[in-house]
Structure 1
């Protein structure tokens, strides 16, 4: 856990023991850790050199820990500065690479990925390196990884990267999808839905896109995907996303000025998106009757006799 601060497993174990004691001798340290004396002395010597341990005043053969907030915070700060400098260097190198790649043949603006493992890694790298916004078209049936496996999105959202994700309705009916979607929305994801999507793709910061391609040959699925750098093709894909986004149905948990609480607002979003009652009930782990009761409440609040009237009222009153 403290490897980010530059501690080995032995050093971390020794430091944790020192934190819990008023002072121990090297032989006691070895006994408590269950290691050879030489291993304990080496770990202790390293902690002393790194400023994480000190001798107990007046007892040169006994040692204790330096306060973690003093010793570790500074080391972590230095590590973070190193990471930031390395990230800046990577960004600079990427800009140089792209500048030169534009002067190469157009074919080099597109790289082909031919395995699921490579595609998963590229999707993770794309999101890990995103700084401003990621946009994505998500169709039903995963190709490289499920939405639940895409932990990189949640990490990116937590560090402030914007996400706009457009979901195909059938995907929202897949088990566990609605709970996963709500988690993303709570962290800041903007989500919308359409009955069908023409392609699946993801674009980071408007500069790098991944477009999975699937060919069906003889009943077997051969995966290929295109990694697309700045080009007219990437511009076309960005325009496609924006045109679909404009006519898609928002899926939300909260909305300023809405008279609905988060549960009813989420339910209304899913209904307008076309997700069946049964799928909503199953995924949200409530009874079918509970879903119908909440829908009835929404209709009464809107003064609607039918679900179509409910959707019309929600659009007119800007509930979504």
Structure 2
């Protein structure tokens, strides 16, 4: 069983009340009408120290003093007293939030010349991953992603699921090679089931992440696991990257939401088109849809003929334009 005072003590500590005062407050809370002598005996303190703690708690609004002799202290109702402390702490945090801009100016002046303050180069997978997680933690409205192999940071589903649970809009364009990796489609379905909006293209120019209108991150080099990345803050360059995402998003083919059940052949054909655009082989599609490879081949021929497409991906594009995806 946890100690009697573990939960209140943790609460008061979070509100800036020192440990010694927490202990004194809990003692008075459990024994109303406490005196200096009683508190000193209870906590093995000198009378001077006990009186100091009682006066400090009274100034914080946690205790009420009744004149004696001897003077006695009782705890003010915790819902009122703790709420007042909480409001004061919130006011302090608001003041600090208002000074973030001032702190950032000091940081930039000390570390970089003004011309370079909008772009920061970070190196090393662990450092990149740390910046990435901090960007996601600070997201308020939206996260835009180009998901292109190889994967380094975006391997932890909890990162994105946490965003979606906070109501953040997450839109992802997947490169076909990413979707066709073993187990990847099941993971994407988990994301789309939680609210992610997902589309797919045969190829993407680079990895990219845009968080709100405040940050963007992309690797210094493409084609291998990134050991260096550029972190960009609000600027025309960040706006251009967001515009690049929108251009590719509008060209991409939608990945169906798994929350919508496939009730007829048209629904199955929708998933077939998505898998075709993702670069899945006939055997892989057959396993995903639970049919034979010959059935997949027949469906593909029928779709391409009906859409007038010469390639599989062209069939997906034609289907998207026709509103079938």
Scaled by the length of structure 1, what TM-score is found?
A: 0.61
CA distance in 2, matches of 1:167, 1:80: 44
Pick aligned residue for 1:271 from 276, 279, 291: 276
Query: Which secondary structure state, in structure 1, belongs to the residue aligned with residue 117 of structure 2?
Result: helix
For residue 170 of structure 1, report the CA deviation from its aligned partner.
Answer: 0.5
Pick aligned residue for 2:202 from 181, 195, 198: 195
CA distance in 2, matches of 1:174, 1:185: 17
Unaligned runs of 5+ in 1: 1-8, 16-44, 55-72
Structure 1 residues 312 and 123, CA gap change in structure 2 (3 angstroms): closer
Query: Which secondary structure state, in structure 1, belongs to the residue aligned with residue 140 of structure 2?
Result: coil
For residue 160 of structure 1, report the CA deviation from its aligned partner.
Answer: 0.2
Q: Does 1:163 align with 2:167?
A: no
Pick aligned residue for 1:231 from 219, 235, 247: 235
Output the aligned Cα RMSD.
Answer: 5.1
Residue 122 of structure 1 is matched in structure 2 by: 131
Q: Write the deviation string for residues 1-54 of structure 1: whole angstroms up to 9, x where unpaired.
A: xxxxxxxx9449999xxxxxxxxxxxxxxxxxxxxxxxxxxxxx97x9399999
Instruction: Please tell me whether the aligned partners of residues 177 and 279 of structure 2 are also in contact (alpha carbons under 8 angstroms).
Output: no
Q: Does 1:241 align with 2:249?
A: no
Q: Give 1 or 2 for the bigger CA radius of gyration.
A: 2
CA distance in 2, matches of 1:50, 1:247: 67
Alignment of 1:169-184 (within 5 A): 169-184=176-191
Alignment of 1:265-304 (within 5 A): 265-280=270-285, 284=288, 289=292, 292=295, 296=299
Structure 1 residues 111 and 79, CA gap change in structure 2 (3 angstroms): farther
CA distance in 2, matches of 1:268, 1:238: 27
CA distance in 2, matches of 1:234, 1:126: 14
For residue 253 of structure 1, report the CA deviation from its aligned partner.
Answer: 1.7
For residue 98 of structure 1, report the CA deviation from its aligned partner.
Answer: 5.8
CA distance in 1, matches of 2:5, 2:189: 39
Alignment of 1:208-219 (within 5 A): 208-214=215-221
The total of aligned residue pairs comes to 260
Query: Which secondary structure state, in structure 1, belongs to the residue aligned with residue 292 of structure 2?
Result: helix
For residue 237 of structure 1, report the CA deviation from its aligned partner.
Answer: 1.2
Instruction: Please tell me whether the aligned partners of residues 169 and 194 of structure 1 are also in contact (alpha carbons under 8 angstroms).
Output: yes
Scaled by the length of structure 2, what TM-score is found?
A: 0.60
Query: Which secondary structure state, in structure 2, belongs to the residue aligned with residue 164 of structure 1?
Result: strand
For residue 249 of structure 1, report the CA deviation from its aligned partner.
Answer: 1.2
For residue 107 of structure 1, report the CA deviation from its aligned partner.
Answer: 0.7
Q: Write the deviation string for residues 114-166 of structure 1: whole angstroms up to 9, x where unpaired.
A: 11111111111111110100001111111x3343x142111011110001111
Residue 149 of structure 2 is matched in structure 1 by: 140
For residue 259 of structure 1, report the CA deviation from its aligned partner.
Answer: 7.0
Unaligned runs of 5+ in 2: 8-21, 32-78
Structure 1 residues 53 and 185, CA gap change in structure 2 (3 angstroms): farther
Residue 67 of structure 1 is matched in structure 2 by: none
